[in-house]
Amino acid sequence: MTAKKFGLNLQLRFIFPVIVILLVLGCSSVRDDAFLGTVLTESPKATDFSLIDQFGETVSLSDYQHKVVILTFVYTACNDICPSIAHGLKNAEKYLIDENNEIATLLISVDPMGDTAISAKEFLQDYGMLNKWQYLLGKEEDLEPIWAAYYISASIKGLDSTFTESNSKDELQTQLLKNYSVNHQGPVYIIDRAGNARSVFTFPFDPEELANDVKLLLEEN
């Protein structure tokens, strides 16, 4: 072997490992099988939106670029699935204490008629999250496109057709208690720093498994 060939082989011997190392370092995307939620394989771009939070501030999903976002849908008068979702999210945060500043939790209303800034604050206070989570409110025409984008089917059952403005306040309250309800699903989306929806959990979910997926995305470059 000539000195020239030896030098070329020596160069290749050193260059090839360096290339491999650079490829590994530059390709830090999380493997799909590492997620514990349902993987959204095409990693669709999460639809942006602008709504009003419990403090009257305008909040957009795009405000949270460079954070991992936990996104779900609830309503304050809900007494079944919503409290369970909120408890699950709060318990998940126990596994994310060191990463709290890198996470945003957004709850979007599915009850534009019943949810208010006051009820949203009370709901968040019940979980000790008033100043940490954002409860996002809006009119039905503002919320419906967001529900559709995230595959939320929210049906609101209201007053019956015989009810009129001439009915008394007591009759109104009776009718509301009797007829008013909101039916919806409770998915929890995990959105990465680039704004892509990466995994989704459906109720009931394991808080530790949800925290696992959040951590995976926090570790991703």
Q: How confident is the model at residue 181 (pLDDT cuts 50, 70, 90)?
A: low
Q: Calculate the alpha carbon distances from 93 to 57, 111, 131, 214, 216 in Å.
A: 24, 26, 15, 10, 14
From the list 79, 92, 80, 129, the residue with the least C-alpha distance to 107 is: 129
Please compute Rg for the chain using Cα positions. Answer: 24
- Is 78 or 158 the better-scoring residue by pLDDT? 78
Strand 103-109, strand 68-74: pairing: parallel
pLDDT value of residue 155 = 64
Average pLDDT for 66-89: 93
pLDDT value of residue 203 = 86
pLDDT value of residue 54 = 98
- Is 98 or 39 the better-scoring residue by pLDDT? 39
DSSP string, 55-108: TS-EEEGGGGTTSEEEEEEE-TT--SHHHHHHHHHHHHHTT-GGGGGGEEEEEE
Judged against a pLDDT cut of 50, whether residue 18 lies above it is answered with: no
pLDDT value of residue 137 = 98
**158: phi then psi, degrees, rounded to nearest 5:** -120, -145
* pLDDT tens column, 134-149: 999 999 999 999 999 9
> Is 133 in contact with 124 (CB distance < 8 Å)?
yes
* pLDDT tens column, 108-128: 999 998 899 999 999 999 999
* pLDDT tens column, 23-77: 333 345 667 789 999 999 877 899 999 999 999 999 999 999 899 999 999 999 8
Average pLDDT for 201-217: 95
pLDDT value of residue 33 = 83
Average pLDDT, the chain: 80
